[in-house]
Structure formats: structure tokens, C-alpha cells
Amino acid sequence: MLTLTVDGKEIQAKKGTTLLKACLDNDIYIPNLCYIDGIEETAASCRLCFVEIEGEEKPVTSCTVPVKASLKVKTDTPAVRRLQKTALRLLLSVHHVDCKNCPANKKCALQDMAKFLKVGLKPGHLQHCLKEPEIDTSHPCLDYYTNRCVLCGKCIQVCLTHNGQPEITFARRGFNTVVSFFGTAKNEKDSCDECIRCVDICPVGALVLKSSP
């Protein structure tokens, strides 16, 4: 066990875990979207889990930092909060905010973070840009809501770890990036119906079962 200081509080963490996991396990909340507990290779793509570490010049993503003894970490400096707020605002600027009609309402990672960081759900001064089409219904048992997705990649990662071959993937590039179901043959219906790990892990309700409203 290693002892490190986070926000002036001493916490214990097992060697080999990441700083993000150590903090979350000790009830210190750090906003995050793409981190999956138990999967070592993190995408570090959401750019939300920033922290400041003493001795480091700039804030770093806590999901990529392995814990070390006597690490001094601060999770709520102005620089960190500014980065997190900007990242969240950018995510919301491409998000179709329609919480009332969203199955993830009240258990949505974006809502939680917006509350935590005191950021409004409306895009504010940023241009609101949505993709077309709104829903991809090409999968036999799943629906994909393009404008709810935050592109965290968790669904692809769990599909890869549990099935060996991911049925879903990122397609296209830049603003047009979507999660797509290419090559999901019709006979995958049963196996997908049984698994639905991607639906369970989705933090924002972008992947839903076809039968649900």
C-alpha cells in the first residue's frame, strides 16, 4: 500500500492502480467519462479527469498517472476546473439536450458533471452543432442516438474485451465521428441481445435497446 496526499487528505492506494481509481475509491470525485474500472489501457480521450500534481508544470489526466508514494495532488485548482469546464461545455455543444425524453435522465454522467462543475446544460456562447441523422437503427437490437453520444469509446472497449472482436467501432472523423455497427450480421441478434454490456456502460443513454422507448 502506498500513501499519497489528495486535497490535503492522506489516502491509501494499492501499487499499480491509477491516480483516478485511487481517488474514486476514496470518495474523492474527479469528473471522468472514458475511464473503465478494470481495464488497464485507458483511452484518456475525454480530457475531464485533470488534476494538479506537485512538481508537474501543468495539470495532468489522472487516469494515466500510476500512483506513487508521497504524491501530492490537488483536484480543485482553478486551472483544473477551467480545463474541465471547457471540456464539458464543448461536449454539451454537440449534445442534443433533451433530458425529459432521454432514458438516461437523472443517471446521466453529463448531468452529474454539469451539476458538480456548475456548468449550464445549454451551450451558452458556443455554437450548437448536431449531426444527422439523429438515430442509427441499423443494428438488429440496438438503437444509437448520434447526438447523445459523447464518443467516450467505452462501448467499443467492453465489446472488445468481452467478445474478442468488437461489433461496434468509431467511424468517420472529426466532428462527424460516430459509433457504428458495420458488419453486425443478422445472426448476431441473439448474442447482442444477451450481452448488452455496451448499453449498460453507456454513460449518457446513446445506446439503447430497440424495445425501450
Partner 1 sequence: MIADLSADEEKILNDVKIRLAKYGKERGQLIPILQMIQDKLAYLPHITMEMVAQHLDIPPSEVFGVATFYNQFRFNPPGRNPVKVCLGTACHVRGGDIILENFERKLEIKEGETTSDKEFSIERVACVGCCALAPVTLIGETVHGNMAPSKVEGLVMRVQIEKEMKEREKQKNESGQ
Contact set with partner 1 (CB under 8 A): 165-173, 180-184
Min separation Cβ 194 and partner 1, Å: 19
| Euclidean distance between CA atoms 88 and 66, whole angstroms | 25
For residue 166, the minimal CB distance to partner 1 (Å) is 6
Nearer to partner 1, 62 or 184 (CB): 184
CA dihedral 64, 49, 178, 161 (to 10 degrees): 40
Opening angle at CA 83, ends 150 and 11, nearest 5: 95
CB closer to partner 1 out of 96 and 139: 139
58 or 173: CB nearest partner 1: 173
Cell numbers at 209, concatenated: 435497446
Helix and strand numbers (H, E) in the chain are 6, 10
CB of 143 to partner 1, least distance (A): 17
Q: Supply the minimum distance, in Å, between the C-beta of residue 27 and partner 1.
A: 38
Q: Which residues contact 115 (CB under 8 A, 6 or more apart)?
A: none
CA–CA dist 92, 126 (Å, integer): 9
Min separation Cβ 138 and partner 1, Å: 9
Select 12 or 191, whichever has its Cβ closest to partner 1: 191
Which lies closer to partner 1 via its Cβ, residue 125 or residue 173? 173
Is residue 69 within 8 A of residue 3, CB to CB? The reply is yes
